[in-house]
Homo-oligomer: A and B are copies of this chain.
Amino acid sequence: MTTRRTGLREQKKRATREALREAALRLALERGPDNVRVDDIAEAAGVSPRTYNNYFSSREQAIVAAVTAERESRVAEAVAAQPDQVRLADAVVDAIVEQYTDPGEPHRDAMLLITTRPALREAFLDTAAAIEHPLADAISQRLGDSGPHTARVLAASVAAAVRVALEQWVRPVSTSPAASGLVVPSGSLPDLIRSTLAPLTPALDAAEERARRGQPDSV
């Protein structure tokens, strides 16, 4: 009812997409990502090479997608699932941290592969941006319609903060020797995300407060 516009068509597309993801990851793990040609992925998934990049616009994207697959929608769901009494900021932070917390994954080795290879790291960072739109919808729903852009900006900022966290997590921290000189070596990803999200809580609180006062009953 929600996504099912046509039914069978959508279903097949999902299947193809998943087959491609899975094939891409499997082959990358077996041979190493540099020894995987697009043709191989396509063949393993049983489609033409041309079809492959109707779905993915780069090999890295396909591999990474196997791990990050439906994180976007899950984040949005998790936010929406929080009761209204919970502060928006907490709802968002918890939802995201939850999604990025290592669930003792079968993907453990895949993550190792990703964080190792530069090209895959880049692709992985880009996946943070994917949460923006679903998250914007979820926030928008909680805020009513504070401003035309408030929800989107907040969602985009959250996504950006997550990206910063992922960068920190993934990079050897080779940047300039800053003033204090002391930066967390690598920390756990959830903690990192919490700390990059922290500076945004005032903005989330303010938006929520404004929504609460601004439109207790009106539009």
Complex Cα–Cα for A206 and B203 (A): 9
Please, which residues of chain B bring their CB within 8 A of the CB of A183?
148
Q: Which residue of B lies closest to A183 (CB)?
A: B148
Q: Which residue of B lies closest to A180 (CB)?
A: B145
A153 x B161 contact (CB < 8 A): yes
Task: Say how many copies of this protein the assembly contains.
Answer: 2
Complex Cα–Cα for A203 and B179 (A): 23
Please, which residues of chain B bring their CB within 8 A of the CB of A159?
160
Which of B148, B152, B196, B200 is the one whose CB lies under 8 Å from A203? B200
Complex Cα–Cα for A44 and B40 (A): 40
Q: Which residue of B lies closest to A152 (CB)?
A: B164
Q: Does A16 contact B (CB under 8 A)?
A: no
Complex Cα–Cα for A195 and B154 (A): 12
Question: A151-171 interface mask toward B, CB cutoff 8 Å, 1 = contact, 0 = none?
Answer: 011101101110111001000
A156 x B145 contact (CB < 8 A): no
Q: Which residue of B lies closest to A176 (CB)?
A: B137
Please, which residues of chain B bring their CB within 8 A of the CB of A203?
157, 199-203
A179 x B219 contact (CB < 8 A): yes
List the 10 closest pairs (A to B, CB-CB), nearest first: A157-B157, A202-B206, A156-B160, A203-B203, A202-B202, A160-B160, A150-B199, A153-B161, A153-B199, A149-B196
A and B contact pairs by CB, cutoff 8 A, 9 listed: A140-B178, A145-B179, A150-B198, A153-B199, A157-B157, A157-B203, A160-B160, A179-B219, A200-B203
